[in-house]
Amino acid sequence: MKKQKIPISIILGLIIILPLIHALEVTINVPEKYQEIEAGEKLIFKIDIKNIEKIGRHDINLEYAIIKDNKTIIKSKETKAIEVQTSFLASINIPNDMEDGTYIIKTIINEKEISEATFYVKKSKKEQIKTYFTLIVSATIIVALIIFYEIKKMKKSTKTLKQESESLKEKIKKENKSAFQNLPTKTGTSAFD
């Protein structure tokens, strides 16, 4: 049987990369001030990374993912150099149209989820004002339509009543006319005699 040889570069790569994946202790923390933010604001969070095996300075690829209901909403990537330990603040812009709710921010290093924290997003005041304005305008339009309909209905009723009134007047005139024509009259005498 013929043995396959593994190239030395792959062996060296594994020797360097494998310890890095397991040798890091990472924590993510959302400061209290940012645990509830408005849509459209910036989420600021703190990352603490410790190189447990202390194998020297090296770069790590960090990825941050904002997740809701197991669905990734936003991703951000950066590379950081680490020797023994480091702490830094990172941020992600939250879109204006992000829905209200609790979200998770995860730290991913070398494609492995390492740490996570939660935060809450609420609608921005601007969006709330838009919503209230839309509701007020919609309610105003509905009320205006109801008033317009009622006025139209009243005009129609008034027109119908006017026509019925005119019809009754004509009827009364005709009846009065025929009643006066059928009255017996004396010639040369008045009704006051």
Question: Distance between CA atoms of 6 and 14, rounded to whole angstroms?
Answer: 12
Q: What separation in angstroms does the CA of 122 have from each of 28, 46, 49, 70?
A: 21, 21, 30, 19
Q: Residue 39: how many CB atoms within 10 A of its CB? A: 19
Specify the length of the chain in residues.
193
Q: pLDDT, tens digit, for every residue of 75-132?
A: 999 888 888 788 899 999 999 888 889 999 999 887 776 889 999 999 867 766 777 7
Q: Whole-angstrom Cα distance, residue 25 to residue 29? A: 13
Residue pointed to by tokens 């494609």: 111
Q: What is the token pair recorded at 21?
A: 């994946």
Is the model's pTM score more than 0.75?
Answer: no
Q: Give residue 153's pLDDT.
A: 83
pLDDT, tens only, 18-66: 444 446 788 899 999 999 999 889 999 999 888 766 667 778 888 999 9
Q: How far apart are CA 72 and CA 45, in angstroms?
A: 18
Domain 21-123, CATH: 2.60.40.10
Map out the domains of the chain as residue ranges.
Answer: 21-123, 124-179
Tokens 């969070």: give the residue: 45
* Mean pLDDT score, 174-189: 66
**9 to 6, 15, 59, 61: CA distances (angstroms):** 8, 10, 19, 20
